[in-house]
Chain A
Amino acid sequence: AQSVTQPDIHITVSEGASLELRCNYSYGATPYLFWYVQSPGQGLQLLLKYFSGDTLVQGIKGFEAEFKRSQSSFNLRKPSVHWSDAAEYFCAVVPSNDYKLSFGAGTTVTVRA
């Protein structure tokens, strides 16, 4: 069955430390891949996307993600987190022949001073 998995429900990280959020997918063909962020009381904001080409994708707010076909993964990273990065992060996929987004369960990021 097609699925997208975020193994980490909650991550706590110190301000200034690095952050990595995991995302794995299970689809027959490589889907389109996205990371969204939802800050408290806010809507969803697109951080970055991968369609094809360079497997290291740069996004907004200093985030990047790396697509690894062999591992069916699309992990999100940030070298140095800021307190404002505390939010809920969602990995999402769209099959390459479709348009419907499927979301992972989300990872809550807490940033401690």
Chain B
Amino acid sequence: SAVISQKPSRDICQRGTSLTIQCQVDSQVTMMFWYRQQPGQSLTLIATANQGSEATYESGFVIDKFPISRPNLTFSTLTVSNMSPEDSSIYLCSEISGQGDEQFFGPGTRLTVL
């Protein structure tokens, strides 16, 4: 499996500001995803990060709030914009090498919004 790193590992931010989270994979992967895990909750898919094109968002998530980039096959960013305390969550990126393969996850970014 690929090794996935995320930066930052955690951050505390003020409401109204934005934070960009980076996800780096050590090998080229087919697909990358971003998930949110709210406190005490399960994981919810935010979007599929498409290489060279706009991300595909799941219901309830919009590009203006969670802009995503994927400039190449090993790197993606998720921005949490105009943050509010409700955005306090763990954000995880994941990768998959092929349809039906298992997904591997990064260590997550723990975000606290005050």
- Say how far B53's CB is from chain A's closest CB, in angstroms: 16
Kindly state whether residue A27 has any CB partner on chain B within 8 Å: no
The answer for the CA separation of A96 and B107 in the assembled complex, in Å, is 27
- Say how far A105's CB is from chain B's closest CB, in angstroms: 5
- When distances are taken between beta carbons in the complex, the residues of chain B under 8 Å from A46 are 102-104
Kindly state whether residue B31 has any CB partner on chain A within 8 Å: yes
- B107's nearest neighbour on chain A, judged by CB, is A43
A103 touches B99 (CB 8 A): no
Per-residue CB proximity of A59-102 to B under 8 Å, as 1/0?
00000000000000000000000000000001000101011111
Kindly state whether residue A56 has any CB partner on chain B within 8 Å: no
The answer for the CA separation of A101 and B37 in the assembled complex, in Å, is 14
List the 4 closest A-B pairs by CB distance, nearest first: A43-B107, A44-B105, A103-B42, A103-B43
Number of interface residues of B (CB under 8 A): 20
Number of interface residues of A (CB under 8 A): 21
21 A-B contacts (beta carbon < 8 Å): A32-B100, A34-B102, A43-B106, A43-B107, A43-B108, A44-B92, A46-B103, A49-B102, A90-B42, A90-B43, A98-B99, A99-B31, A99-B96, A101-B43, A101-B103, A102-B45, A103-B43, A103-B44, A104-B42, A105-B41, A106-B42
- When distances are taken between beta carbons in the complex, the residues of chain A under 8 Å from B50 are none
Kindly state whether residue A42 has any CB partner on chain B within 8 Å: yes
- When distances are taken between beta carbons in the complex, the residues of chain B under 8 Å from A96 are 100
- A32's nearest neighbour on chain B, judged by CB, is B100
- When distances are taken between beta carbons in the complex, the residues of chain A under 8 Å from B103 are 34, 46, 101
Given contacts A44-B43, A46-B103, A46-B104, 14 further A-B contacts (CB under 8 A): A34-B102, A34-B103, A36-B105, A42-B107, A43-B92, A43-B105, A43-B106, A43-B108, A49-B102, A100-B33, A101-B103, A103-B42, A105-B41, A105-B42
The answer for the CA separation of A46 and B107 in the assembled complex, in Å, is 13
The answer for the CA separation of A106 and B38 in the assembled complex, in Å, is 13
